[in-house]
Amino acid sequence: MDYARSGDTCLDAVLQGGIPSGSAVVLEGAPGTGKTTLAFQFLHYGAVQENEPGIYVTFEELPDQLYQDMGAFGWDLRELEKRNLLRVMCMSPKLFIEQISKAGGLVEHVIQEMRCRRLVVDTISLLRFEAEELGAYRKLFYSLRNALRKFGITALLLQETDSSEADRIPIENYVSDGVIRLSLKCHMENYRKRTLEVLKMRGSPILEGEHHYKITDRGIHVVPSLSSVQDKLQDIGQPVKTGFPKLDRLLFGGIPTGSSFLVDTNSKANYKYFIASIITEHLKAGFRVIAFINSLSTLEDMVTKYRLFGVDLIREVREGRFYIIEHYGRSYPADLQPSIIDVSHTDPQSFQQILKDRLGPVISESTANGDHWFAYYDLNSVFSQQGIDFVRRFYSEEMSIARSVGLTVVALCNFAEIRSDLASYLERSSNGVIRTWVDGGYQYMQLVKSPYSVISEPLIAVNIPEMPYMKLV
């Protein structure tokens, strides 16, 4: 099935893909719940990201205020109109009804002229006054529905909910293909919460339940509810904590077993404790670990760092639970040698062959016995030692091996140093992406992609004196 994506990845996750293309969906809510905002988010995203021109029909007098309000979300409607990707049509409900149901009418003309794919009516509540009685209104609504269907347009029909009519299901909800409800409810006495619920979506599965949403300065952002995504969690694998409660909550427990995460960083950002905490939690959960050691740190440094986390690294290495990938030909104590994988002075082919020969048999034997593995790749080292072109091939092969054996992967990579096509490839082939950067005196971290489409605001990473030595606020 084809979906029209909404402009919010989390709403698309709730809709399990987006709004089914060609359907007419009622978006209902009380005044101020964000109907107009979500409608323009949908049109703007379609126009800019999907090259799907859209029409916004309003029955209000053309308000300059509207352009200004939507501009505050970063959506330049006038510019889209200039590019023929958007048309704001301001007309009376009467004229709209006359024109939409008429072949060759004004609305049809504009739809064809701009190859319109998305349409919004703000609000259909006003159409009711055009019909003398309910039967006539029902007919009128059917003809609107049929006209949209004729053009295969995906439509959002905004509807005001009236609390005095809470018990009555409006006929629009029967006739339309779907219903999304925005509500503002009391929450724990003193608070109010905004919730979004999909009441109906023909021919498409949905994540049931009431989901929180926020109105941010980039538009509507839905936070899918925990209970509805937990079922899906089972498919991906049990989550393993990262050690950072805030991040673990966003990830519904932690990094799912068998998933791959990318940490986009740069040399100024201090991610050392971040990675050490993730690896420690995996060791505590019984995972066996493969980790790159970079040019700046020595085994002694690592031992000291992991001791802070209560891990005896030497013992882990000696007992074959912690493998180290060494790029720089440094020497290690003899009894650790079996767990050191020396890839210094290798060309790309032998690099991969060495990893395969050394780790392949161990991993397949132990996964057969029920062991789990965690790999930490420092792609920056691979870039510098094997070249950037190698990384794409290497990473996609590693990922397919990882998937086949259920290996969890966290890879470090400095996006600023690689081509944007490679960066977006790496991003696409990962289940999660965490960005870190330094600005002024602060270090930031942001979850920008995750298995359940939850993204976070930029979080500030502050150092703390106790484990895990860093806190996200």
Ligand X SMILES: Nc1ncnc2c1ncn2[C@@H]1O[C@H](COP(=O)(O)OP(=O)(O)OP(=O)(O)O)[C@@H](O)[C@H]1O
User: Which does residue 372 touch among Mg ion, ligand X, none (CB within 5 to 8 A, set by kind)?
Assistant: none
Residue 120 Cβ vs ligand X, minimum distance, rounded to whole Å: 11
Tell me whether residue 33 or residue 225 sits nearer to Mg ion (CB atom). 33
Residue from 9, 36, 161, 386 binding Mg ion (CB under 5 A): 36
Residue 180 Cβ vs ligand X, minimum distance, rounded to whole Å: 12
User: Which does residue 248 touch among ligand X, Mg ion, none (CB within 5 to 8 A, set by kind)?
Assistant: none
Residue 213 Cβ vs ligand X, minimum distance, rounded to whole Å: 11
User: Which does residue 217 touch among Mg ion, ligand X, none (CB within 5 to 8 A, set by kind)?
Assistant: ligand X
Contact residues: ligand X, CB under 6 A: 29, 31-37, 160, 215-217
User: Which does residue 33 touch among Mg ion, ligand X, none (CB within 5 to 8 A, set by kind)?
Assistant: ligand X
Residue 30 Cβ vs Mg ion, minimum distance, rounded to whole Å: 11
Residue 36 Cβ vs ligand X, minimum distance, rounded to whole Å: 3
Applying CB under 5 A, which part among 31-39, 100-108, 201-209, 260-268 lies near Mg ion?
A: 31-39
Tell me whether residue 436 or residue 456 sits nearer to ligand X (CB atom). 456
Residue 210 Cβ vs ligand X, minimum distance, rounded to whole Å: 17
Tell me whether residue 36 or residue 408 sits nearer to Mg ion (CB atom). 36
Nearest to 377 by CA among 400, 353, 394: 394
The torsion region of residue 315 among left (phi > 0), alpha (psi -120 to 50) and beta comes to: alpha
Nearest to 157 by CA among 167, 224, 147: 147
Applying CB under 5 A, which part among 32-40, 186-194, 293-301, 331-339 lies near Mg ion?
A: 32-40
Give me the residues that bind Mg ion (CB under 5 A), please: 36
